[in-house]
Structure 1
Amino acid sequence: MKMSLTSFSRTIINIAIVLISTITIAQETNKSLLWKISGNGLEQPSYIFGTIHITCDATLDKTVKTALDNTSLLVLEIDMDHPELQSKMMQEMYMKNGKTIKDFVSKEDYQLLSSFIKTQTGMPLEVLGNIKPFFLSAMLYPKLLQCPIQSFENKLMAVTKEQNENVEGLETIEQQMKLFDDIPYKDQIEELLKSAKDSMAKDKANITEMMNLYENKDLEGLHNLLLKDNSTLTYKYQDQMLNERNKSWISKISSYSKAQPTFFGVGAGHLSGENGVISLLRKQGYLVEAVLP
């Protein structure tokens, strides 16, 4: 199906907003996606929920709905209800310094990418060549799932709106988008080339496995899935994509939780491991417990 450039850009933005953290998953042995934060002076508990950002079914279970009922603020990675969200994302979509994909690949690889992108999106690469490669990769994810995509973030915001509560963010849009200037464009393009060369066969296998592990709340299995391939962006840049961001969030999570009972929704990959949010909160003296059905 062909799209206009405006429609294409909006679609990229909507997917990228909820995709950025999907590509990082780390380890936690308890099979739970929802965790209660208490102690350390908190008058009421807050909750943190590990999301998967695009899925075929983002139905919220009873434990998540109860936690939402018992909190008065929703905090996501970024404020997805911000009135300037789309305009700010549009400003950050393009490579810096006038760079285009042609500057980083051979003539043969450019022709391969051009054919691949045209087939998958209906848009010529000549028009899209200055967009950050990550955003082009993000555009492919709906085809990997082969279903109308949903997101837990949108479901969480819908409940929050019904309850007349606010949405905040742990990061600004600019902070999150800066990540894809810090990661070399050439490495981002290599990921896109991998998808083109095998017609997304590996991507489809990985996302299918990831979805199954998430549905089983198997965070350890998701961690092992990440470590299968040390050539991926996730593996090579996990400090920038995961660990450093986790550390920067802890003071904000603490501040929000002390002000009012808060529901945090972040990518499941941020929860676990030595530098995960759960471990870092515990090191700050909080009691962080799995919420089980």
Structure 2
Amino acid sequence: MTMSKTFTGGLLAAAMVAGAAFADPSLWHIEDEDSDIYIFGTVHILRPELEWQTDEMMSAFESADTVYFEAPVNDPAEAANLQQVLMANALNPAGTTLSSLVSAEAWRQIETFAPRIGVSAAQLEPLRPWLATIQLGVGFIIISGYDPQSGVEATLWPLAREAGKTLAYFETVEEQIGFFANLPTEIETALLEETVADFEAAPDQLDTLVAAWAAGDQAMIDDVMNAQMRQDAPEVHDIIIVQRNHRWADQIEDILDGSGTVFIAVGSGHLPGDEGVISLLRQRDITVSGP
């Protein structure tokens, strides 16, 4: 998914983060007379050497009775269901190939790049564009030195389970996959074309995002994750980001009406900006401490 142009400052920050291998991501706090809610923006895949579990964040996490994630994708009990839902939405209609949907230039880029992640372009031919986007994107991230098992959710989910915390989710696996699988064909195709173009045009974008996240730079996170998508793919941005942000803000308001200590871990791109979760909560006159 396109993530905006790379800025020199962001690249310098990325280099600093890579050298220091230490991060201090933002943490937000909401409280009333019987509730404490902590909100932590995540990055789903990180470099293994990056230390991001700060004392402040871990203290908030350990104090929580309930931990919310986006969806139960890290739950081994959901693995079979996840695979079933993926396969039900994975393939193009009979007679339709991936190469017939994308531009000639995009297919050339796919043919060039696919072998670098251990697959051939021919193996991608049956896949719908949204799934090819994810497979190529995750493959690109992994060969860039990132590890899915080092991501925030992959780390915190088992810690929460082992500590006996209540695990809760804003969405189901079916809903998460549906956000992509239900896109109109022309939009999911454009998403794939933009993604493979980014591999050549801005290979350091993920480093820039992680640097911004590590520094707690919400403006940069919003720019890297949202600004270009808002401009180039407004339909995708509305479905993948904005609509979900509004639903999550509703749910967080409901959580605040209850009691107890809750830790919320959701993708960092959902939190900053005028239509980010934090702003939406503040627009409801909820006091949110943090950046």
Alignment TM class, shorter chain as reference = 0.7 to 0.9
Match of 1:130 in 2: 126
The 5-angstrom pairing of residues 10-29 of structure 1 reads none
Unaligned runs of 5+ residues in structure 2 are 5-23
| TM-score normalised per structure 2 | 0.76
CA 1:286–1:186: 2 relative to 1, 3 Å: same
Aligned-pair CA distance for 1:287: 1.7
- The answer as to 2:52 corresponding to 1:59 is yes
RMSD: 3.1
SS for the counterpart of 1:265 is strand
Q: Please list the CA deviations of residues 203-254 of structure 1 after superposition, one character each: whole Å capped at 9, or x if unmatched.
A: 4221222222222111112223343576654x55211111100111123223
Of residues 117, 121, 125 in structure 1, which corresponds to 2:117? 121
SS for the counterpart of 1:287 is coil
Answer yes or no: is the 8 Å Cα contact 1:37–1:46 preserved in 2.
yes
SS for the counterpart of 2:81 is helix
Match of 2:15 in 1: none
Letter matched to residue 283 of structure 1: Q
- The answer as to 2:97 corresponding to 1:100 is yes
Letter matched to residue 84 of structure 2: Q
The 5-angstrom pairing of residues 193-212 of structure 1 reads 193=193, 196=196, 200-212=199-211
SS for the counterpart of 1:274 is coil
Identical amino acids, percent of aligned pairs: 21
| C-alpha distance in structure 1 between counterparts of 2:232 and 2:136, whole Å | 13
Aligned-pair CA distance for 1:84: 4.5
Match of 1:72 in 2: 65
| C-alpha distance in structure 1 between counterparts of 2:137 and 2:84, whole Å | 17
| C-alpha distance in structure 2 between counterparts of 1:279 and 1:111, whole Å | 41
Match of 1:154 in 2: 154
Aligned-pair CA distance for 1:32: 5.9
| TM-score normalised per structure 1 | 0.75
Answer yes or no: is the 8 Å Cα contact 1:35–1:48 preserved in 2.
yes
Aligned-pair CA distance for 1:47: 0.6
* Matched positions, count: 260
After the TM superposition, which of the residue ranges 59-68 and 97-106 deviates more from structure 2?
97-106
Letter matched to residue 123 of structure 1: V
After the TM superposition, which of the residue ranges 81-90 and 48-57 deviates more from structure 2?
81-90
| C-alpha distance in structure 1 between counterparts of 2:237 and 2:191, whole Å | 15
Point out the structure with the larger helix share: 2
The 5-angstrom pairing of residues 174-189 of structure 1 reads 174-189=174-189
